[in-house]
Chains A and B, each alone.
Chain A
Amino acid sequence: MLKIEPGGEGVVVIAGRLDAAQCPAAQAFLEHVKGAVTLDCRGLEYVSSAGLGVLLKTQKRLTASGGKLRLVGVSHHLQDIFRYSGFDQIFEIEPAG
Chain B
Amino acid sequence: MTADRLFRRSFDSLDEIFAFTADFFALHRIDPELLPTVDLTLEELFTNMVKYSPAGEPNIRIEMAAAEGGVEVTLTDYDVERFDVTQAPDANIDLPIEERRPGGLGLHLIRRLVDTLQYEYSNESRRSRITFRKTRS
Chain A residues near B (Cβ < 8 Å): 17, 19-21, 45-46, 48-50, 52-54, 56-57, 59-60, 63, 77, 80-81, 84-86, 89-90
Contacts and interface: CB of A to CB of B under 8 A. Distances in A.
Contacts of B93: 84-86, 89
A39 to B, nearest CB: 16
B47 A50 contact: yes
Nearest to B97: A90
Interface string B4-31: 0000000110110010000000000000
A20 B47 CA distance: 8
Nearest to A1: B15
Nearest to B100: A56
A84 B93 CA distance: 8
A26 to B, nearest CB: 13
The contact size tier of chain B is 20 to 34
Given A84-B112, A84-B113, A49 B39 contact: no
Contact of A56 (B44, B96, B102, B108): B102
Interface of B: 11-12, 14-15, 18, 33, 36-37, 39-40, 43-44, 47, 91, 93-98, 100-106, 108-109, 112-113
A57 to B, nearest CB: 6
A86 B94 contact: yes
A52 B12 CA distance: 19
Contact of A49 (B11, B15, B44): B44
Given A21-B11, A48-B44, A84-B109, A89 B36 contact: no
